[in-house]
Structure 1
Amino acid sequence: MSIDRESAVPLHVQIQEHLRARIERGEFAVGATIPTEAVLAGEYGVNRLTVRQAIADLRAVGVLVARQGRGTFVAEPPVPIDVTMDARNLRIEHERARRAAESKGRRMVERVLEVDLVMASAEAAGGIGPGPATRIRTLSTSEGVPLLRTEYWVRSPLPPEDIRARGEEPGGIGPAAWNEIAGAEMFYGWRSFDARPASRADAEVLGVPVGSALLERCGLNTDEAGRPVMFLRRLAPGGRMRIVIPYPRD
């Protein structure tokens, strides 16, 4: 199989695209082993390091998965959880993601990883103002699969130990607990969506390769009067969660 050596597209990217196309047309089925680096290097007429980079890129985005001592396999495509956000309703519904998971027969649990009282980061201070704030880091999982890594910044009326205790309950932090933690019923201030590569810390918690694509959703929650009460950042591995915002005409 030939590649274009005159193209401005790097060789490893061309190989990555070829391999992805071969998977999509069924040449390599889900669960099948792809050829070794040596075989692929011979097919494409490149060195093994070029093939290795192409495979690493496909592993990073979840198309391939390596199994120690067994080879590299075509990964099972993830079935994302669709979380619908109603553009007409500003009241935050903490059950939204849980209901979305349940609609696919999966149970979602949010557990606390860390709680500490620190000075607000520059980004968080831009939302809730500078000064001391409670930082809460959580991990949401479904059937043991990590879905979301979240960092909340809030000036909570609750001490860190009380927040940790809520996170240790059997079902993790429940919807009612978040309003208690914030000290108010919360409403959407704004949300932003971006993509970022997984850092080493992200990769460890979310169970993905370093550098893999993450969906980043940041936002500010307010009380009913519009006063800022919580800044948050959520990170989701590509393909595990999808945000849907319908725009009704009525």
Structure 2
Amino acid sequence: MGEIGARLGAGKVAEAFEYGAHLLKLYRDPGARSTAFAEAAILAIVGDHGLPVPEAFGAGQYLGRWGLVMSRAPGRPLAELARADPKMVPAALDAMAALHLAMHAAVERRLQPLKHRLADRLVTAPGLDDAVRHRLLGRLATLPDGHRLCHGDFHPYNIIGPPGAAVIIDWPDATSGPPAADACRSYLLLLHGAPPLADPYLVRYVAISGLARADILAWLPILAAARLCENVPEEEARLLQLARSVLA
């Protein structure tokens, strides 16, 4: 086992550390054994498509915590680069949309179907009354299936490096599904994390994907309700409002 170095970053689920020339992702949950091995498998699957993603080298216990060793993505998150130089925001959004489209070009049937995951979350999502939950499940059943690679958490902090040389990180939520749903998930995340970028990003994705804006936003009430399962109290009021819009 190599020496664990400086902490590179931290999130709700895990922390990232230097590990020689590589990166060590250590999960906060002491029972995250299956999570570590599942993410390693997902990175192997995604890597088959030739996308710019980290390479997984191994999963196991490191100083008593479950973790995953992977290649280290060079540079800073695209969000930080754009914040440091607002002039590069248009190029950053263009790069993000291009990466998203490349991802959605990949046919992938080995991952969990996205609609199955969403149905499970709609059943257990807190704060929904029966009428809203029933309508959301009905709406989900009518929306198209798909077998394209979907990231599930695609936003500028999960893109490391400048446009043209970026690496896409954090793949544990990857599924097989329709691109419109994954694009809508990014739109939903931007609505809270970077509101001024949400609509400009959607405009760019629509322009290069050929998908209709309405077909993407048809997923919004469902994805908002599903996100209620992710313990994001600061977003709860908006998520409930979006979920209840299914009754309109």
The TM-score bracket by the shorter chain reads: under 0.3
| Larger fraction in strand | 1
Give TM-score scaled by structure 2 length: 0.28
Give TM-score scaled by structure 1 length: 0.27
Structure whose alpha-carbon radius of gyration is higher: 1
